[in-house]
Every structure is written in C-alpha cells, then in structure tokens.
Amino acid sequence: MPASAATDLGEVSDIDLVKRSQAGDTRAFDMLVTKYRGRIYAMTYHLIQNETEAWDLAQEAFIKAWRALPNFKLDAGFYTWLYRIAHNVTYDWLRKRKIQGDGEFDDERTEHRVAAGAEATPKGDPAPDMALRNAELGHRIQAAIAKLSPEHRQVIVLREVEGLAYEEIAALVPCSLGTVMSRLFYARKKLQEQLKDVYETTL
Amino acid sequence: MRTLLPALALWIGCALGVAGQENAAPSAKPATEGKVWGGLVFATNDGTELTGSQEKAPATLPQLNTRLSKVFDFKHFEILGQHHQDIFREYESWVVPSRDLFLKIDSNGPADRGGVKLHLQVWREQQVLVKSDAVLRPDSPLFIGGPKWKGGRLIFVLSLERK
Amino acid sequence: MKPPSEEHDLIRWLDGEMDETERAAFEARIKANPALAQEAEEMRALSAGIRAHLPAEMAVPHADFFNSQIQVRIGQMEIDEARRREAVAPVLGSLLSWLRQSWLTAAGAVAVAVVAFLSLRPSSEDAHSLILSSYTPSAGVQTVTFHDDNADATVLMLDGLEEVPADRKISGISISRSETEPEMASTTLFDAAGSPQLVIFRDAAGNPQFWASKPRG
C-alpha cells in the first residue's frame, strides 16, 4: 500500500506541527522527529545495512529537512517529502561508497553485521524451533539483500518496505517504468537464487 | 552565448555549494574545505619507553610539546606519526598518522573566522571511540586524549592549516 | 531467456499493477501453465518473506540522543545564521530565547550549555576551535571537553578507554598526501618521498580496512 495512504490520518496533525516548525518552533519539529524517526531509520538501514551509518544518515535527513522546511508546500504529504530527502541522502552515500554488489560481498562479514533489526532470540532461552528458524530466515534474507547492487537493493526496499507503486518508484529514483520493472525482476531472481532452499516449491 | 550559459550555471552551482555528480567536472580533483595536520603523540614520564621517533611538529604548531604538557601531566611527548590531509567537501577524509588510532572527518561546511565545521570520528581498529561535531579554527588545535599505553598515554592532535 | 514483457507481466501481476482485464488474462495463463504457476508462487512467497523480515519501522538506537543531537545541531545552525547577519545583540537574543525552551532533556541541555558557554565568550576568544557535541558508543567511556588557555588548545578527553597492551607495537607513519580512486572506493596514502605507505578501503560492513605496502613494524 502506498506510503501516502498509510499516513492519511496522521497527515492532518502533521500540518499543524509542520506549520509551527516552519515558524521556527523546534519543539514541534522534535515531535515530528519522534513520529518518523523509526520509519526513516528503517529505510536507511535496509538500504545500507550498517547500523552506525544508518543512524548518521537518518540524522542528516532530519537536519536537511529542517533546513529545507521553507521550501515545503503544505499541500503535499510531509512524510512523502521527508522520506524523499532521506532516500536521496542515503542513496548518495551509497553511490559514493560504491559498494559492489552481485556476489562481491564476503559471506562471513555480511553475516555478523546483519544482526540488528532481525527478530533475535535471546541467548540461552529455550526458544521454540519456530522462533529460531524465523530469526535464521530473517538473517538470510537480509544477507541476500546485502549482496544486491545499490540499484537493485533500492527498488526492493522501495517496493517491499515502503510499498511504493511503480510510478512512485520511477519518480523517486528517477528512471523509466521499464527500468523499475527490469530491476525488480532481476533483483527478485537474484534473491531467489540465494534463498533457493527456502522458497522452492514442488508441484 | 550558448557555451556561456552552461558554464555560468556550473559556476553558480558551485558557488551555491550544490553537491552532486551532475555539477562536478568529470576529471577534476574533489572540492576541499582546507587542510589538516593530524599527529599521534605518545606521552610518557619514562624516557626509556620512548620509541626514538624523529617526527617533528609542523611550523604551524609552535611549542607543541610545551602546550601538551599544560594539559597532560607527562614529561616527554613524542610524535609517532603524522598526516597532512585535505578535507574534502563532499566525501569523507581519513587522517591516519598510525593504523592504531586514526580519524574520519566529514566536512559540514565552512565556519566563520577561517574555520571549518567538521563531523569527526576517532577510530581504533574496527571501533569508533567517539563521534563529535566540532568547529576547527586555524592556530587552535584539538588535543584528543586517547587510551593509556605503557604507563603513558596516546594523544591525537588535530590542527587546521591556515589557507 | 524470456522476452522482457513476459517477465514484466509476472511482477506486475504480483505487485498489483495490472488492471482487471490484464489480471484475469494472466491468471488464466497461470491456470494453464504449471511452470508459470510455480514461478509465480515462489516469487509471491519470496515477496511475502521479504516484507515479513524487513520491518518498515525500526527502533532507533539511543533514540533520545538521536533527538537531542538534532536539536543541538539545529541550534548551532541558528547561531551561525544569526552571526552571519553580523550583529551581536540579535545573536544573544536568539540564543537566549532558544535556551529558554526548558523542555530540552538533560542530555540536550548539557550540550546546549556547552554551546552557549562557548558562544557567549568575548569576541576576541571566539577564534577558538570548539567541540559542539560528542557521543561515545561505549557506555564505559566518558568525554570531557574544555578549552585550555595556557595550552591555547581545545581538549576532548576520553576517559575510561580500554588500555592498549604494553607489548603492542604502535608505530606511526608520515603521510604528506593522499589520492582517492575516482570511484571513491579506496584511498592511497603517500609519504613525502612519494612512496605509497597505506591503502584504506571499506569492507562490506562499512568498516575501514588497511592494506600496507610493506609489513607492519
């Protein structure tokens, strides 16, 4: 479901907070930060898979948003505008780092960094089999996504996490609709390769 | 006139500090915000522990050892390694006078009185010891008190060179 | 290799990007083609799995600090902005009114106090370097920052760091310039004679790694 629809109810009170922020009310802005930091952090984290840097980039996004408030028109959705800023900040960072995808990652290294965000079972608990298997799967999915190139990781995150429609993805990246579809297809095929044993079905 | 307009747009873009691939000349050196000197200093009371390093502080940091002694209570100060580094405007810069204690610097733009706003991280091997937002100004070095070693202490000195 | 439009059909159907007519037609194809049905089911399961394990919202580590850090940086931006307008009284005025916002948490207030203290000193001393804020990921490590007039230096003291073992050999290098590869993937550090001493690159986890052109020590 598109992000804008999900926050319709929230948008109403946002307008008040945004207006006050534009007038220089830092407390109002602080409330907006509290409201959206979880979603912004999740997006940056999924795109770059590094807790420390995702934290820094999420910070940057809010600072940039504060600076750009005078340019924000109240008729558009605030969260949409905010995550576009966060997305651009993160994607710029990703491009500069030129983290190579498509198999160039070291399996072991990616493995231990992927811990945060996945449902973790505390050590020593007599955890039921299901919970353990679930956490395992989470790790493997995140590791598989980490192996994708920035462009392919981007479309997967925008589609599966942010729930954007193809048109919205194309506008954000920016690229053509055809490119969005090709990248999504390729990314999913790549992920399937990594997770063959999990998702293979036999009819 | 047709060639003048794109050139003008590029100049305006650079003057406004607009970051981004589309404004950077393809083979130009990345924009810089100034230059820093980073030194790793070993402070100790025991002269026999000195490593015998011959490194000297730059002329822009006169009386460095005396100044360090006013903050850190040691008799001897030895520069183990040093690094002169450009601060990139759009990319991170590493200041590595030693592999054991080094800095990552990100520029946050110029500050008044010839200064630079920085986000800096002190790294030790694979760990960040501290993250800090700072304003660095010429002739006003940063002394970062680091970990203890051999009864003494490791100190990171960061100084902005005047443009 | 299937033609691009067929591949696009599969994901368009999966992502609900088809209209009624197209969807009915595609679903008919699935019924008639077991291989296609299998592919569609696998991809649907994968999508569901990704959505289940990639939460759209995550708890921000050190959330309070996240907020207060933003406030400190915004505050500093406002001070810089006022300074740029080149008048002393308005700077103090905006700073004081901003400080009056007593809702700031203790952490934010301490950082604010540091900024305020350092900003309100007489103009001749404003040419110092400043530490605006600092954060240590390790709980046991504390920072103390101050300006030392005698030393004419700004100090950032890290207390509580793990000691370096005495038998550890710490060696320095002397670097006078660096070169970063065009794609910014690695940086080579050169000494005054122009010999490369060290190469820095980021590993998959984003951590800095070194490669030395000569052995350590």
Q: List per-block mean pLDDT (blocks of 10 residues) for chain A, which spans 203 residues.
A: 46 81 90 94 89 92 92 83 90 67 36 38 49 76 88 92 90 88 93 83 49
Q: How far is it, in rounded angstroms, from Cα A127 to Cα A147? A: 29
- Tell which of A53, A74, A98 closes a domain: A98
Question: What per-residue confidence (pLDDT) applies to A62?
Answer: 96
Contacting C residues, span 65-124, partner chain B, CB-CB under 8 Å: 72-73, 76, 80, 83-84
Q: Which of A162, A147, A157 is nearest to A184 (CA)?
A: A157
> For residue C123, is it within any domain?
yes
> For residue B85, is it within any domain?
yes
Instruction: State chain B's mean pLDDT as an integer.
Output: 83
Question: What per-residue confidence (pLDDT) applies to B70?
Answer: 92
Question: Does residue A108 sit in the same domain as residue A203?
Answer: yes
Question: What per-residue confidence (pLDDT) applies to B19?
Answer: 38
8 Å CB contact of A106 and C183: no
> For residue B103, is it within any domain?
yes
Instruction: Give percent above pLDDT 90 in chain C.
Output: 30
Residue of A53, A56, A89, A91 best to disrupt the B interface, most CBs of B under 10 A: A56
Question: What per-residue confidence (pLDDT) applies to B60?
Answer: 87
Instruction: State chain C's mean pLDDT as an integer.
Output: 79
* Mean pLDDT calculated for residue range C64-70: 89
Domain ranges, residue A20: 1-98
Structural domain count of chain A? 2
Q: How far is it, in rounded angstroms, from Cα B33 to Cα A46? A: 31
8 Å CB contact of C206 and A53: yes
Question: Does residue A86 sit in the same domain as residue A112?
Answer: no
Structural domain count of chain C? 3
8 Å CB contact of B68 and C151: yes
8 Å CB contact of C202 and A99: yes
Contact list in B for residue C151 (CB cut-off 8 A) is 67-68, 70-71, 143
Question: What per-residue confidence (pLDDT) applies to C183?
Answer: 64
> For residue C207, is it within any domain?
yes
Q: How far is it, in rounded angstroms, from Cα A109 to Cα C205? A: 7
* Distance set, CA A61 to CA A11, A13, A37, A86 (Å): 19, 21, 10, 5
8 Å CB contact of A203 and C38: yes
Question: What per-residue confidence (pLDDT) applies to A47?
Answer: 87
pLDDT at C80 exceeding the cut of 80: no
* Mean pLDDT calculated for residue range C180-187: 73
Q: Note the pLDDT tens digit of each residue in B48-80.
A: 888 888 889 998 898 999 999 999 999 999 999
Question: Does residue A32 sit in the same domain as residue A89?
Answer: yes
Question: What per-residue confidence (pLDDT) applies to C101?
Answer: 54
Question: What per-residue confidence (pLDDT) applies to C2?
Answer: 59
> For residue B75, is it within any domain?
yes
* Mean pLDDT calculated for residue range B74-101: 92
10 Å CB burial of residue B23 (0-12, 13-18, 19+) is middle
Contacting A residues, span 6-25, partner chain C, CB-CB under 8 Å: none
For A73, other C-beta atoms within 10 Å of its C-beta total 6
Question: Does residue A90 sit in the same domain as residue A175?
Answer: no
Residue in A with minimal Cα distance to B131: A56
Question: What per-residue confidence (pLDDT) applies to A114?
Answer: 38
Domain ranges, residue B69: 30-161
8 Å CB contact of A118 and C53: yes
8 Å CB contact of C189 and B83: yes
Instruction: Give percent above pLDDT 70 in chain B.
Output: 82
Element (H, E) at B37: strand B32-44
Domain ranges, residue C129: 63-159
- Tell which of A46, A66, A98 closes a domain: A98
pLDDT at C209 exceeding the cut of 90: no
A78: CATH: 1.10.1740.10
Residue in C with minimal Cα distance to B142: C154
Question: What per-residue confidence (pLDDT) applies to C15?
Answer: 94
Judged by a CB distance cut-off of 8 A, whether residue B11 touches chain A is no
> For residue C93, is it within any domain?
yes
Residue of A64, A96, A112 best to disrupt the B interface, most CBs of B under 10 A: A96
Residue of B66, B102, B103, B132 best to disrupt the C interface, most CBs of C under 10 A: B132
Say if residues A139 and A171 touch (Cβ distance below 8 Å).
no
> For residue C169, is it within any domain?
no
Helices (H) and strands (E) in chain B, counts: 2, 8
Residue of B140, B154, B160 best to disrupt the C interface, most CBs of C under 10 A: B140
Question: Does residue C67 sit in the same domain as residue C153?
Answer: yes
Query: How sure is the predictor about C96, in pLDDT bands with cuts at 50, 70 and 90?
Result: low
8 Å CB contact of C129 and B137: yes
Element (H, E) at A193: helix A177-194
> For residue C165, is it within any domain?
no
Judged by a CB distance cut-off of 8 A, whether residue B47 touches chain A is no
